[in-house]
Structure 1
């Protein structure tokens, strides 16, 4: 596993290997599986062929802390002194949030750092992780300082994460409360619900739980061919199209549904705590004897002199975000009163999610209904076309039959006319007489 890819929640970061370190097990393991010959020398050959001393044992650090520091140091291509100077100078150009977060996780407790600082004279005899800790121990309040630098570096990102969420949620609540069409929609649903519940204990209700909106799609018709949501969409589309305008009046609901008020509150609270810690650190900092120590200059001096330092800016942003959050809480409470629900039981995140689910479902139902109407219209036209074709086919057959009848009648009349003509002229009888006389007479011989 590449140490650079390790996250703070990674399994490998939190393992406690010392729990399973057992010499007896190691001995058995080596006897059964080791492919290396037993070590005969204290010196071992490096990859470059240079002899190096056997790894030095830790004197103060526990094994886990030593391992974590070793992993961290192997991923940083800097000398210990360079790391120290960058922290002292608050060198944001050459410090990364990732490095600072790893340092905060790996740096030993202050008491341990004090013990290591006392071993300054034995520096060359210490293991690498302890050498690093000795160098870092010269920085006063090391961990709080790293935390403050990290906070400063991430502050713009923190603000950019919180502020849009506050704006979206506030706008969404304003839109819901002030949408006349949304109010009419709820009235219509109440009427439909009371009609369906006539005769039950829920008849003539004066209102309903807003979370019911997201469940309309689950209410099926008796035949299972439609839902209450599709029925509502059809009614709105055909009879109350103006109410559908509410879809364009609550446009911030989509973004608000992604907002967790609890997370926003935690982030603002954490910001306030970090600002107080920073302010306390600056008050207790005193004058540093190290000319490279710029922490006070960066964090405080510009605040007191130019009024444009980080602390001033951060405090201003914090106050603004806190005020925005209080406004959001107040608006949600008033929305809860407006729609008659308990804001403590029905949290903001669930409220927005239900409204968005209903909104998205209604838009989908409108499209489904339109497709169904189009399909039905297509079938109707196809059916009419088939009926028309069949009718034309039958009419054609009737016309053909009529023509045949007429032809037959005309032929029959023609035969009768011919017979009558023959009878009138007597031509048939003449031919017959001639044929009969010809058999009896013998032609005369010319004389």
Structure 2
């Protein structure tokens, strides 16, 4: 049922540690970029901002702010993955065949690769959110409304037109039972819709602050589109990493693979953030 899919999507979104960490990284990066402006020091932002991360490009014209955010968190995620794997003694379960080379487990490049695998997995983790984004809420509401109107007409027919017939007739009993069952079903649907929409809005409020009437269901579409962008960015970061490793091996094996934490973005590329909720 659509309502159940929305409920699952809300729970997955609110309980995703990695999604929340990405949001924190975006906020931190935005504040660093906007330092010294009225936008600096923000404590929240509209999730629509996520869809603008690929529009802000660095001075090289290629690296986007989303690339930078991904690069910012993959090392810490890699370290976390190694620690978790060691604790469960299942380090071998982390497949890095695509990145196989001479680096030791403790190297920066190794952490980055593992972290990139983790971040790349967010799209699969939030698969239910992507599915929820395709549900037509207006169509669903319209269908329930039409069912309610049809029920009202049937009740009127039963209470008016059928009065002239024998109340003990089989047809009368069948129609009365049908109306009773459908009325209970529709009441249940309306109640379920009310509860789920409240959950959706509270989830939107959790991320947006005081979300507007239509912000709730837009949340799923925003996350779906962002995950598409994230998948693309992760692939590009991965490809750039492989290229960097090949160049490093050929030209300067001693050069560190650790990335700079400076933000190479033009100063007027500010993102819209908001104050504390």
Give TM-score, length-normalised by structure 2.
0.66
The structure 2 residue matched to 1:350, chosen from 218, 223, 240, is 218
- Does 2:250 align with 1:250? no
2:34 is aligned with 1:197? yes
Measured after TM superposition, the shift of residue 249 of structure 1 is 4.2
Question: How far is 1:277 from its partner?
Answer: 1.0
Higher relative contact order (CA 8 A, sep 6+): 2
Contact preservation (8 Å) 2:66, 2:233: yes
Corresponding residue of 2:60: 223
Runs of 4+ in 1 over 3 A off after TM superposition: 241-249, 340-343, 375-384
C-alpha distance in 2 between matches for 1:181 and 1:193: 18
Mapping of residues 58-97 of structure 1, within 5 Å: none
Mapped to 2, the partners of 1:235 and 1:344 lie a distance apart of 32
Q: CA deviation at 1:274?
A: 1.1
User: Cα offset for 1:239?
Assistant: 2.6
State the secondary structure of the residue aligned to 1:200.
coil
Q: RMSD over aligned Cα, in angstroms?
A: 2.8
User: Is the counterpart of residue 179 in structure 1 residue 16 in structure 2?
Assistant: yes
Contact 2:158 2:175 in 1 (8 A): no
Contact 2:6–2:200 at 8 Å: present in 1 too? no
Give distance in 2, aligned partners of 1:345 and 1:202. Answer: 26
**Which of residues 162, 170, 174 in structure 2 aligns to 1:302?**
174
2:77 corresponds to 1:240: yes
TM-score (norm 1): 0.42
Question: Which residues in structure 2 correspond to 1:38-437 (within 5 Å)?
Answer: 164-241=1-78, 244=119, 246-286=122-162, 297=171, 301-302=173-174, 304=176, 307=177, 309=178, 311-344=179-212, 346-380=214-248
Does 213-222 or 245-254 show the bigger shift? 245-254
Q: CA deviation at 1:365?
A: 1.1
What is the rounded CA distance, in whole Å, between the counterparts of 1:371 and 1:326 in structure 2? 46
Structure 1: any 5+ residue segments left out of the alignment?
Answer: 1-163, 290-295, 385-447
Whichever of the two has the greater Rg, that structure is 1
Shift of 1:251: 2.7
Q: State whether residues 166 and 328 of structure 1, in contact with CA within 8 Å, keep that contact through their aligned partners in structure 2.
A: yes
Contact 1:166–1:324, Cα closer than 8 Å, also in 2: yes
Deviation at 1:181, TM superposition (A): 3.1
Unaligned runs of 5+ in 2: 81-117, 253-277
Which stretch of structure 1 is more off in the superposition, 245-254 or 365-374? 245-254
Q: In 2, are the aligned partners of 1:194 and 1:202 still within 8 Å (CA)?
A: yes
Deviation sequence 1:271-329 (CA, Å, 0-9, x none): 1111111121222232789xxxxxx83xx52354xx5x4x3443233122212211122
